[in-house]
Amino acid sequence: MKRNLPLRKRTKKEVKNIARNIKLLILDVDGVLTDGSIVLDNKGNEYKLFHVRDGHGIKMLMKAGVEVAIITGRSSKVVERRAEELGIREVFQKCHDKVSAYQDLLRRYSLDGGEVAYVGDDIVDAPVMSRVGLPITVSDADPGIKKYALYVTKQRGGRGAVREVTDYLLEAKGLWHRIIDGYFEA
């Protein structure tokens, strides 16, 4: 299989134009929705820390009509629970072929790659990142993946990076004020 080359860099205006057309945001988990730590206890329990503002950003984005999906290489009941809490229906766990899951999502939602954003943090995310319209990585990502990203967050994974992405997408689509105004109409 041919390895996809890093993307050519784009201007901020070009990236914002791409963001305006995003209809699906796909997220990795470890290192994106979490800080990458995996805590295991002696009883076999797994713990992950999620940032509350990342979750709220996901809910705002979905309220604005953008679908959100998770594709992760690990499997965890914690991820299943967090996705359920947020209303994320598309969750692919223990997914070692992220491209197949991505292509499945394209078919299900009748999208082309230009309408998809993906947030990853490590080189295993490069095959999907090189296929989407808006590849994104977190500020503390593996240096090898950053060359595949058009947008690198200022925030770290699990520490507000996803919220930064959701806010950016809402602003690019001109939906930020409509979502925020909804909080004042009660």
134 touches 117 (CB < 8 A): yes
- Ramachandran assignment for 99, one of left (phi > 0), alpha (psi -120 to 50 degrees), beta (any other): alpha
Instruction: State residue 4's pLDDT score.
Output: 57
Instruction: State residue 1's pLDDT score.
Output: 40
* Domain segments of the chain as ranges: 21-179
For residue 5, the one-letter residue type is: L
Instruction: State residue 93's pLDDT score.
Output: 97
Q: Which residue has the tokens 């206890």?
A: 41
Instruction: State residue 5's pLDDT score.
Output: 54
From the candidate CATH numbers 3.90.1170.50, 3.30.750.200, 3.40.50.1000, 3.10.20.30, the one assigned to the domain spanning 21-179:
3.40.50.1000
Report how far residue 124's alpha carbon sits from residue 118's, in angstroms, rounded to the nearest whole number.
Answer: 12
CB atoms within 10 A of CB 140: 17
152 touches 138 (CB < 8 A): yes
Threshold 0.75, pTM exceeds: yes
Instruction: State residue 141's pLDDT score.
Output: 98
Q: Which of 29, 24, 49 is nearest to 138 (CA)?
A: 29
Instruction: State residue 2's pLDDT score.
Output: 45
The stretches of the chain forming alpha helices (DSSP H) are 12-20, 52-63, 77-86, 98-109, 126-129, 143-146, 161-172, 176-184
Instruction: State residue 11's pLDDT score.
Output: 86
The tens-digit pLDDT sequence of the chain (186 residues) is: 445 555 667 889 999 999 999 999 999 999 999 999 989 999 989 899 999 999 999 999 999 999 999 999 999 999 999 999 999 999 999 999 999 999 999 999 999 999 999 999 999 999 999 999 999 999 999 999 999 999 999 999 999 999 999 999 999 999 999 999 988 886
Q: Residue 69: enclosing H or E segment and its boundaries?
A: strand 67-71
Q: Which of 32, 51, 98 is nearest to 71 (CA)?
A: 98
